[in-house]
Amino acid sequence: MVCTVMALGIDNVLFSVDWPYESNRLGAEFLASLPLSQADKEKIAHGNAERVLGM
């Protein structure tokens, strides 16, 4: 994930899971474990999607 953020930029990464093969809980735990700032995690979790979708 860190390589993805470095390549694409934090503003171009969205949170998703491969349900039903992975659970939202596991995805959220993975996101929480990343060596990123809380602000960057919030962008990935919801901020970028809100911006893209105009919410």
Domain that holds residue 25: 2-53
pLDDT for 19: 84
Q: Quick: pLDDT tens for 2-53.
A: 899 999 999 999 999 988 888 899 999 999 999 999 999 999 999 999 999 9
Cα distances from 8 to residues 21, 22, 32, 49, in angstroms, run 25, 24, 20, 15
Write down the pTM of the prediction: 0.86
Please give the DSSP secondary-structure letter assigned to residue 11. Answer: G
Beta strands in 1-55 (DSSP E): none
Structural domains of the chain, count = 1
The Cα 1–Cα 7 span in angstroms is 10
Distance CA 20, CA 7 (A): 28
Q: What is the pLDDT of residue 20?
A: 86
pLDDT at 23 (0 to 100) = 87
Query: What is d(CA 16, CA 51) in angstroms, rounded to the nearest whole number?
Result: 16
